[in-house]
Structure 1
Amino acid sequence: MSDHLTVVDHPLVQHKLTLMRDKGTSTAGFRRLLREITQLLAYEITREMPLTTTTIDTPMEEMEAPILAGKKLALVSILRAGNGMLDGVLELIPSARVGFVGLYRDEETLQPVQYYFKAPEGLKDRLVIAVDPMLATGNSSAAAIDLLKEAGANDIRFLCLLASPEGVERMKELHPDVPIVTASLDRQLNEKGYILPGLGDAGDRMFGTK
């Protein structure tokens, strides 16, 4: 994961993302697609997880077989929309530890305000994947990464569904050591800080709120 930004252009990812962008997609459909697309993105973001070996007996013989090394991965949801991505990763890695960062965006300043933070212990020894469907201004994402670093994390990756050029630049400026994996780098932000063409408010579409 040397590149700062990885756009996963797999046909299944792109197909599911198109369905999610469509404003006619139901809340239930949006939720299901988010879980499915997150699994596919998680496959990419965990590609370089370290392996060791263990001795097992197959039905045929004993062998040295690869197995994940080190402490369990930590998955951190940036509330509230990040919760929609948790299930997708946890289905792949059910033993992952889970943390939460609560931030809301002040509509006047567009700056993040923290209201909750709870992370697993021993972050310095874990791969930490922060999840949030949208990397828009990058302010909330960067603030969440700040909190994780303060808590000891030093191997962090950021997983999102959509990213804006402005958000990617902001993250690169503040956290050049944090690779980003996304399904799409969209065109731009509008004056309210929403991604264009985007898919609207991911939290509202996921939870059926307005």
Structure 2
Amino acid sequence: MTRDIQAVVHVVDDDESLRTSLARLLGSAGHSVRTYTGAGDFLLNWQADGPGCILLDVSMPGGPSGPELQQALAQRVDALPVVFLTGQGDIDMGVDAMKAGAVDFLTKPVDRDVLLGAIDAALVRDQACRDARARDLALHASYESLSPREREVFAQVIIGRLNKQIAYDLGTSERTIKAHRAHVMDKFHVQRFIDLIKIAGRLGNE
């Protein structure tokens, strides 16, 4: 997975020997790794400064559990995807974790290829989320660049009103409306009416 900033696998487990083993395994597969002694350690030291995922134990004495950490992070827009790795899991726990958005729920001991496959899937999901956020930011920037009159025209165009109808409502010429409409299309970097409809839907759903 080639990125401008290398993704980091954050290993959160209270078992020191396992953390070391996992870090070595993931490092041998080309991943950058950071380790944490538990959920509390992660919350204190994690900086949301780049792509990655979390390889997370379920039960860690002396602090929040893995599912509790997952729940806390889910409130953040920059939450990293979670892969659970536990020696104490059961079917119900796994189902709950997956419903809460976990990429996978693995049990110890885990096959190397299975673990690496889950990590790759988590990193792919993280990158997809980051790409989507970048597109949304660009979309909002484009909307903010519209003039007040262009926003009025945009609002009328997306409900299917004709240029001459918009011109009548706004007290201007059809030629002027065509120019505003062209500016709106340019600022959103689209060429088709259907694309404006999709953009309006995305803006309206946020």
Higher helix share: 2
TM-score bracket for the superposition, by shorter chain length: 0.3 to 0.5
**TM-score with structure 2 setting the length:** 0.37
Ranked by relative contact order (alpha carbons within 8 Å, sequence separation 6 or more), the top structure is 1
For the pair shown, the structure with the greater C-alpha radius of gyration is: 2
Higher strand share: 1
